[in-house]
Amino acid sequence: MNRLAGKVVIITGAAMGQGAAEAKMFAQEGARIVATDMQEVKLQEVVQEITNAGGKAIAVKHDVASDADWQNVVEKAVQAFGKVDVLVNNAGVSTDKKLDQFELEHWNKVLNINLTGCVLGMKYVVPEMKKVGGGSIIHISSIAGLVALNYTNAYTASKGALRALAKASAVELAHDNIRVNSVHPGIIVTPMIQKALDQGAQQMFEMGTPLPRLGKPEDIAYGVLFLASDESSFVTGTEIVIDGGWTAR
């Protein structure tokens, strides 16, 4: 307990899945949470659960692809809790379009949310982190940023670029004691992949995962917790793969 005592954490995409698991776990560890998402009702439910358990959290409606929304989120974080110590860029969308079927609008949407949104987040949190002498930025990438997955071209491009972005910004921000890392989940049972599971992909996913189960949101949250805490004070510019062995094959 209290691994994040005193820290203020912004978590995007916190209304469900991995983001919700991170928000709840971090609050239990003493963090004050700024939970953001476009899904206001579900987001409020997550924040209510945290506050009912004695934690501190606020909810902010947030389009991560919007510069103005990012500015608003960081301003609200500082107004509510005085600072920003940690940013978890968790919000993301997936895609299953083949190369000869996708439309430019679809491509731009995926890149804007999965990649540009993370850049905008850094733009606004870095000045606040500098004020407090450092911080931790965690980009939630994917195994798709490391290995090929079928028909996920825009998603794979965004997640691979996010891995590279983490490395470049880690070097740039190291002298400010701001650490930047990426986390690469494997097949995690969340609403994002539920459609594929419903369509019969579970057996394929299980066959690709050496450990005898698919991942849970909490499996990712524990890895992100380590990167958010001072336990990882000498960890920057790297990737943590949490995939049950998928990429080890």
* DSSP structure string for 101-133: T--HHHHHHHHIIIIIHHHHHHHHHHHHHHHTT
Cα→Cα distances 119→2, 67, 174, 191, Å: 29, 10, 17, 25
Cα→Cα distances 59→14, 94, 131, 201, Å: 9, 24, 24, 34
Rounded Cα distance, 183 and 90, in Å: 10
- Phi, psi of 113, rounded to the nearest 5 degrees: -80, -50
3-state SS class at 50 = helix
**Cβ atoms 36, 10 nearer than 8 A:** yes
> For residue 242, what is the DSSP state?
E
Reduced 3-state DSSP string for 10-30: EEECCCCHHHHHHHHHHHHCC
- Active site annotation includes 222: no
Q: Measured in Å, how far apart are the chain's first and last C-alpha atoms? A: 35
Task: Please tell me which residue in 124, 151, 155, 222 is annotated as part of the active site.
Answer: 155
The tokens describing 11, both together, are 């978590």
Q: Other CB atoms closer than 10 Å to residue 3's CB: what's the count? A: 17
> Which residues are identified as catalytic?
155
